[in-house]
Amino acid sequence: MAKDVKSQLTSLLQQALERIAPDAGDTPIHLERPRDPSHGDYATNLAMQLAKALKKNPREIAKQLLGSMPVSVLVQKAEIAGAGFINFTLDPRAKLQAVRAVLVDGENYGRSTQGGWQKVQIEFVSANPTGPLHVGHGRGAAYGASLSSLLTFAGWDVTREYYVNDAGRQMDILGLSTWLRYLAQNGVDVPFLPNAYQGDYVRDMAKQITAAHGQKYVRSAEAVLAGTPGLPDASRADDEAKRQRDQHLDALIANAKELLGADWAYIHQHALSEQLADCRDDLEQFGVHFDVWFSEKALFDTGLVARCVDLLEKKGHLYVQNGARWFRSTTFGDEKDRVVQRENGLYTYFASDIAYHLNKFERGFDKVINIWGADHHGYIARVNGAISALDLDAAKLQVALVQFAVLYRNGQKASMSTRSGEFVTLRELRGEVGNDACRFFYALRKSDQHLDFDLDLAKSQTNENPVYYIQYAHARICSVLNQWSGNFEDLAEADLSRLDNPRELAIANKLAEFRDVIDTAARDLAPHLIAFYLKDLAGEFHGWYNAERMLVDDAVLRDARVALAAAVRQTIRNGLAILGVSCPESM
């Protein structure tokens, strides 16, 4: 790949550093874009880093560095500012190097080796397969997919993983809900509780079972309800009423397992398979792909949960109270200790989660990133504590939180319910505004910030819609290239010196920023920075396009402007690919 200006400037500073302080030659050189453009194109704090070792005033060191730097056509001006910063203003010709770099590198422009091909596992979505994905899951899916693409682009070896919660009570409730709907469809009337799964998709799964097996799984209402505790009045919503309904539900599950025997596994598996297939299909259509679908049940089947809990006990991190085994989570900063095995011998969800993280570490990942809903914030301390208790490196785990998205229509908060009375599904949202708007609007805010999703704006074809604005820039450039009669392969050799007006130099400077944006976004797990960058780049291009003719009579100038436009198009393509957004060639 073409060597960028930042790398060349770093090399010049490195030579100066070795001349004035050879013993400090390994000092890292940081070059950043100043927030205020009047301070130049790049700034470094190298002189301030060297002050302690050299026992000199940073401004004096900065002066020495500048005096020792090789002369370069890259730099138009270098100034010492503040306590010892060095600000560099690039020569206009240097800024144009980025245009040629984009055309030479093509789809690889902006790639970096920041990750050093270390193995990173990103686990995201991981919604219980108990119903359709909703708009909240959609934001986590978009963020996880964009982050995975971003880290791959930045030189990490990424594994995308979905943790399937196919064990435990929630799946039993889904299996029971499906069976109760099946019974009702076959003339057996059993009260359907509000804490069972209500959606139409449950009725659909029940119909599938009837179509395939008729009345094979029908049992009498008396047998289904035998021994179940009484139910509170339907109007009650207090904690005691909730507890009574949960007890009734658990008793129904126990009866279902006894009445159906081996057939319970079929009901349970059918519900799981149908919902998991629906989830996979929804995500695939959303452009979200996973390398691994990891089964929670496998942790129990392989004995890893039991081994993990026994390991914690051997290390002295468990105690028994009221027949249950507790993890001393408070030792590691949690607000209270946590149960890992109940008095009835069943392991808790937390126990399987500890085992899952042990499995991640045993698979040899250099970094593990969990993407969780913001409501899981309190869960971080206990998981980190368990990892430390197992003598593993908790610093390898990084948790990124995702806030919920709130939908707005006509300036008013949109109803989150659907005809099934539950929530707006991801599939419904995609159907209304399209995949591109979904993926981009989800990426418009930092993941842990609240997101207002404006449905009207997402569907509009105006400059106020950021995804339309960016895609329109791409389509405009495609139109220019279609009208241009030259050879695309020759553009990298165009005479760029003719690009000398402020708008053109500003675009070239913006193109050069892309590599910095990639590195910063990857370091901070922040793909939203790419969305911001692309919006700015599109704005620079539209301003130039509206002010200047591209296809002028002067052939040299024409080719130079087409080269600049083509570089913008390629950079937009590279950025939108990371965000999972398409690049239409006409609009």
**Residue 53 and residue 108 in one domain:** no
What pLDDT sits at residue 416? 58
Indicate whether 356 belongs to any domain. Answer: no
Q: What is the mean pLDDT of the chain?
A: 94
What is the mean pLDDT of the segment spanning 335-352?
Answer: 95
**Residue 233 and residue 267 in one domain:** yes
Domain count, the chain: 3
Indicate whether 71 belongs to any domain. Answer: yes
Indicate whether 411 belongs to any domain. Answer: no
The answer for residues whose C-beta is within 8 angstroms of residue 232's C-beta and 6 or more apart is: 240, 241, 244, 245
Q: Identify the three-state secondary structure at position 369.
A: strand
Indicate whether 385 belongs to any domain. Answer: no
Whole-number Å distance between alpha carbons of 224 and 221: 5
Confidence of residue 428 (pLDDT cuts 50, 70, 90): very high
**Residue 535 and residue 574 in one domain:** yes
What pLDDT sits at residue 420? 43
Indicate whether 20 belongs to any domain. Answer: yes
What pLDDT sits at residue 153? 98
Question: What CATH number is given to the structural domain containing 522?
Answer: 1.10.730.10
**Residue 551 and residue 493 in one domain:** yes
Residue 34 or 330, more confident: 330
**Residue 491 and residue 563 in one domain:** yes
**Residue 180 and residue 81 in one domain:** no
**Residue 101 and residue 184 in one domain:** no
Q: Identify the three-state secondary structure at position 63.
A: helix
Residue 370, classified by CB atoms within 10 Å of its CB into exposed (0-12), middle (13-18) or buried (19+), is buried
Indicate whether 349 belongs to any domain. Answer: no
Query: 372 — phi, psi (to 5°)?
Result: -120, 155
What is the mean pLDDT of the segment spanning 569-575?
Answer: 98
What is the mean pLDDT of the segment spanning 493-518?
Answer: 94
Indicate whether 486 belongs to any domain. Answer: yes
**Residue 80 and residue 110 in one domain:** no
For residue range 69-91, what is the model confidence (pLDDT) as tens digits?
998 888 989 999 999 999 998 88
**Residue 496 and residue 471 in one domain:** yes
**Residue 566 and residue 480 in one domain:** yes
The answer for residues whose C-beta is within 8 angstroms of residue 580's C-beta and 6 or more apart is: 142, 145, 146, 149, 286, 287, 288, 435, 439
**Residue 107 and residue 177 in one domain:** no
For residue range 213-255, what is the model confidence (pLDDT) as tens digits?
999 999 999 999 999 998 888 888 899 999 999 999 999 999 9
Confidence of residue 39 (pLDDT cuts 50, 70, 90): confident
What percentage of the chain has pLDDT greater than the value 70? 98
- Please identify, among 276, 298, 326, the residue that sits at the C-terminal boundary of a domain: 276
> With 60 as the cut, is the pLDDT of residue 417 above it?
no
What is the mean pLDDT of the segment spanning 369-389?
Answer: 95
Q: Residue 31 is part of which domain span? A: 5-90
Query: 43 — phi, psi (to 5°)?
Result: -140, 150
What pLDDT sits at residue 422? 59
- Please identify, among 219, 253, 276, the residue that sits at the C-terminal boundary of a domain: 276
Instruction: Please report, as a single letter, which amino acid is at residue 194.
Output: P
For residue range 529-562, what is the model confidence (pLDDT) as tens digits?
999 999 999 999 999 999 999 999 999 999 999 9
Q: 144: closest CA among 162, 170, 167, 171?
A: 162
**Residue 47 and residue 105 in one domain:** no
Helices (H) and strands (E) in the chain, counts: 22, 15
Indicate whether 69 belongs to any domain. Answer: yes
- Please identify, among 223, 243, 276, the residue that sits at the C-terminal boundary of a domain: 276
> With 70 as the cut, is the pLDDT of residue 3 above it?
no
**Residues in a beta bridge with 369:** 122, 398
pTM of the complete model: 0.90
Beta strand 119-123 pairing with 85-90: unpaired
What is the mean pLDDT of the segment spanning 518-536?
Answer: 97
